[in-house]
Structure 1
Amino acid sequence: MGLRANPTYRQRRFGAEVRKLRERAKLSVGESAALMGMHQSHISNVESGRTSLSAERLRRLADEAGDLDPAYVEALIDLGQQSGKGWWSLYRNSVRAPLLDFAELEAGAESIACYEPMFVPGLLQTRAYAAAVHRGGYVDVPRSAEAAAVDFRVERQRVLSGESAPRLHMVVHEAALRVTLGGRALMRDQLLRLIDACHLPNVTLQVLPFDGPVPFGTPFTVLMPRVRELSTVVVPHVENSLYLGEVEAVSRYAHTFAKLTKAALPPEAQHAKDTVRLIERLLYPLL
């Protein structure tokens, strides 16, 4: 099998985890190659995500590293053996690679925590709202590319209703709900969509109000698979989004999200001031 020219995030993450195992075992690249009966160059290509590693060899390295959670080892083996194919593969030639990586992470997540200060998060956007966001984007794109991007975003929402749908917890700043993006009718339908989402069993939505503490200015998403050591933080950017897999980084963003949930309005309509009632107040003038 030839080497990958452009490894996906999953493939790069697998390589990074293999490198962590090697370093934990205090082995040089040459020593780990000898341990697993491989050429030294093969190890370097594994760690850069350009090729994979058999389950047998990975277990050999994990044994040398010692005292590892068996669930982590098995999850890492699975990470390396996955084909990477899914519904997002149909968009490989029409949307940017980081978006495909993000969809693959969502598909493998057990829970997702998302903070958005300026826009309704993609998993809860209506088609019209998503189209308006793309039309006002940072980079001008042809109408055909815009259509593919909107279709892709809407398709991502299937993850919320699948057999193994993740738990989704979102904190959205009130500013995102007050912007009349694309007109009154568009925002009315979008707010109604948010109210509907509040009643989904696997979705928790909270609004961070204007009269709350100063908001965290950067949107981010923490995607957590069953084995938390393989979690990823994605910080979106108009040029290149930041993908963080280091345990310390994931912990920092998870801690920030926990603080945001405490500052945001409670999710359910059971208090004088909560998320659903705030959305309903914003919706009333648009009816």
Structure 2
Amino acid sequence: MGLRVNPTYRQRRFGAEVRTIRERAGLTAGEAAAVMRMQASHISNVETGRTSLSPERLRLLAEASACKDTTYVDGLVDLGHASGKGWWSEYRDRLRPSLLDLAELEDGARDIVCYEPMFIPGLLQSEEYATAGYRGGYTGASHPEQDLEVEFRMRRQTVLSGENAPRLHAVIHEAALHMSFGDPAIRRGQLVRLLEVAELPNVTLQILPFDGAVAFGTSFTVLRPPVRKLSTVIVAHIERSLYLGDADSLARYDDWFARLCEVALPPVSGDSRHSSHTIKDSRGLIQRLLYPLL
């Protein structure tokens, strides 16, 4: 099998984890190759995601590094040998690889947590809101290209209602609730969409109000697969989003999200009886903003 020219994020992450195991064991590439009974030249290709590693050899390396976390090793085996195929595969060569990577991560997640200071998270957007965002943005893409990305975003949302749907916990700043792209109907439809999706049993939605704590300025998403050590943080950036998987980054963003949850309003509840006339919780705030638009 030839070497991969453009490894996916999952393949690169597998290679990075293999390198971490090797380095923690204090092994050089040549020493690790001897442990795994393979050629030393093969190691660099594994660690850069250009080729895979058999479960047997991976377990030999884990044993040599005294890694006793069998759950992590089993999860790493699954990560390295996943097919990478799903509904997103039909968009290959038509959309940016980063979008395909995101859909694959969401598909394999058990939990998704995200914070957005200015826009509604993509998994919660209405189609009209998403379309207006692309039309009014700074991308140089043509309308057909933008429409394809909107279509892709809408298909991503099916993960929330599919089989083995992940739990989604979103904290959204109140500023995002005021975005209308010049059309009050878009804002109204998006606020209604938020209230509807918050009814899903696997969705928790909190609003950070203007008169609350100082907002965190950067949006981020943490995607947690069944093996939490293999989680990924995606930090949005106008040039290129940052993908983080090291233990320190995971712990840091988990802590930041926990602090955001503490200062945000209580989650939207499925029982509207206690929140329809108050803005002391997330549902009440959304409804207060929605009423003038009805």
TM range (shorter): over 0.9
State the AA in 2 paired with 1:177.
L
SS at match of 1:243: strand
CA distance in structure 1 between the aligned counterparts of 2:68 and 2:167, rounded to whole angstroms: 27
- Is the contact between residue 132 and residue 182 of structure 1 (CA under 8 Å) also seen in structure 2? no
Matching of residue 144 in structure 1 with residue 151 in structure 2: no
Q: State the partner residue of 2:289.
A: 282
Map of 1:145-224 to 2, 5 A cutoff? 145-224=145-224
Structure 1 consecutive aligned stretches of length 4 or more whose deviation exceeds 4 Å: none
Matching of residue 36 in structure 1 with residue 36 in structure 2: yes
CA distance in structure 1 between the aligned counterparts of 2:65 and 2:175, rounded to whole angstroms: 48
- Is the contact between residue 94 and residue 149 of structure 1 (CA under 8 Å) also seen in structure 2? no
Q: State the partner residue of 2:225.
A: 225
CA distance in structure 1 between the aligned counterparts of 2:69 and 2:185, rounded to whole angstroms: 52
CA distance in structure 2 between the aligned counterparts of 1:49 and 1:146, rounded to whole angstroms: 30
Map of 1:42-81 to 2, 5 A cutoff? 42-81=42-81
State the AA in 1 paired with 2:24.
R
SS at match of 2:205: strand
- Is the contact between residue 129 and residue 182 of structure 1 (CA under 8 Å) also seen in structure 2? no
State the AA in 2 paired with 1:96.
R
- Is the contact between residue 136 and residue 181 of structure 2 (CA under 8 Å) also seen in structure 1? no
CA distance in structure 2 between the aligned counterparts of 1:254 and 1:83, rounded to whole angstroms: 29
CA distance in structure 1 between the aligned counterparts of 2:219 and 2:95, rounded to whole angstroms: 21
CA distance in structure 1 between the aligned counterparts of 2:139 and 2:188, rounded to whole angstroms: 27
Count of equivalent residues? 287
In structure 1, list runs of 5 or more residues that go unmatched: none
**Superposition deviation, residue 68 in structure 1:** 2.4
**Superposition deviation, residue 182 in structure 1:** 4.5
SS at match of 1:171: strand
CA deviations on 1:213-234 (whole Å, 9 max, x unpaired) are 1100000001111111001100
Q: State the partner residue of 2:133.
A: 133
State the AA in 1 paired with 2:145.
A
Matching of residue 104 in structure 1 with residue 104 in structure 2: yes
CA distance in structure 2 between the aligned counterparts of 1:44 and 1:182, rounded to whole angstroms: 52
SS at match of 1:102: helix
Task: Give the aligned CA root-mean-square deviation in angstroms.
Answer: 1.0
SS at match of 1:73: helix
State the AA in 1 paired with 2:163.
E
SS at match of 2:41: helix
Map of 1:241-260 to 2, 5 A cutoff? 241-260=241-260
- Is the contact between residue 130 and residue 150 of structure 2 (CA under 8 Å) also seen in structure 1? yes
CA distance in structure 2 between the aligned counterparts of 1:164 and 1:252, rounded to whole angstroms: 27
Q: TM-score, normalised by structure 1?
A: 0.98
CA distance in structure 2 between the aligned counterparts of 1:15 and 1:286, rounded to whole angstroms: 51
State the AA in 1 paired with 2:239.
E
CA distance in structure 2 between the aligned counterparts of 1:125 and 1:236, rounded to whole angstroms: 17
CA distance in structure 2 between the aligned counterparts of 1:190 and 1:285, rounded to whole angstroms: 14
State the AA in 2 paired with 1:275.
S
**Superposition deviation, residue 152 in structure 1:** 0.4
SS at match of 1:165: coil
- Is the contact between residue 198 and residue 276 of structure 1 (CA under 8 Å) also seen in structure 2? no
In structure 2, list runs of 5 or more residues that go unmatched: none
